[in-house]
């Protein structure tokens, strides 16, 4: 299953969407952010080693943009923090 998911990302665009909601009696923040990763084709031997390592477990889409997938990133459109689960750049604008 992980191989199939990763192969759909290879030489393709993968979009990661993160939602942030904060609500207090003083402030309400709702944000939906998207970051697109454009990947080069994955090397099959490197993909096999990644799958065997098990590092993909627990990763959304079996993807580790800070690990295996990093060397295949051709372009990033959006904030990389979105892929980590919290759009820090968006949050900062509300904290200033």
Contact 35, 76 (CB under 8 A): yes
pLDDT of residue 96: 64
What is the pTM (predicted TM-score) of this model? 0.81
Domain extents in the chain = 2-95
Each residue's pLDDT expressed in tens, for the chain with a length of 96 residues: 899 999 999 999 999 999 989 888 988 889 999 999 999 999 999 999 999 999 999 888 888 888 899 999 999 999 888 888 888 888 888 776
Q: What is the CATH number of domain 2-95?
A: 3.90.950.10
Token pair listed for 89 = 């750049």
Give 28-34 contacts, CB < 8 A, sequence gap 24+: 29/91, 29/94, 31/87, 31/90, 31/91, 33/78, 33/79, 33/82, 33/87, 33/90, 34/78, 34/82
């Amino acid at each position: 299953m992980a191989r199939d998911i990763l192969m759909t990302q290879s030489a393709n665009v993968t979009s990661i969407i993160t939602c942030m909601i904060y609500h207090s009696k003083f402030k309400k923040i709702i944000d939906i952010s998207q970051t697109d990763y454009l990947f080069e084709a994955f090397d099959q031997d490197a993909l096999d080693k990644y799958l065997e390592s098990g590092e993909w477990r627990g990763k959304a889409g079996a993807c580790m943009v800070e690990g295996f997938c990093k060397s295949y990133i051709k372009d990033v459109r959006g904030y990389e923090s979105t892929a980590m689960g919290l759009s820090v750049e968006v949050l900062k604008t509300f904290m200033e």
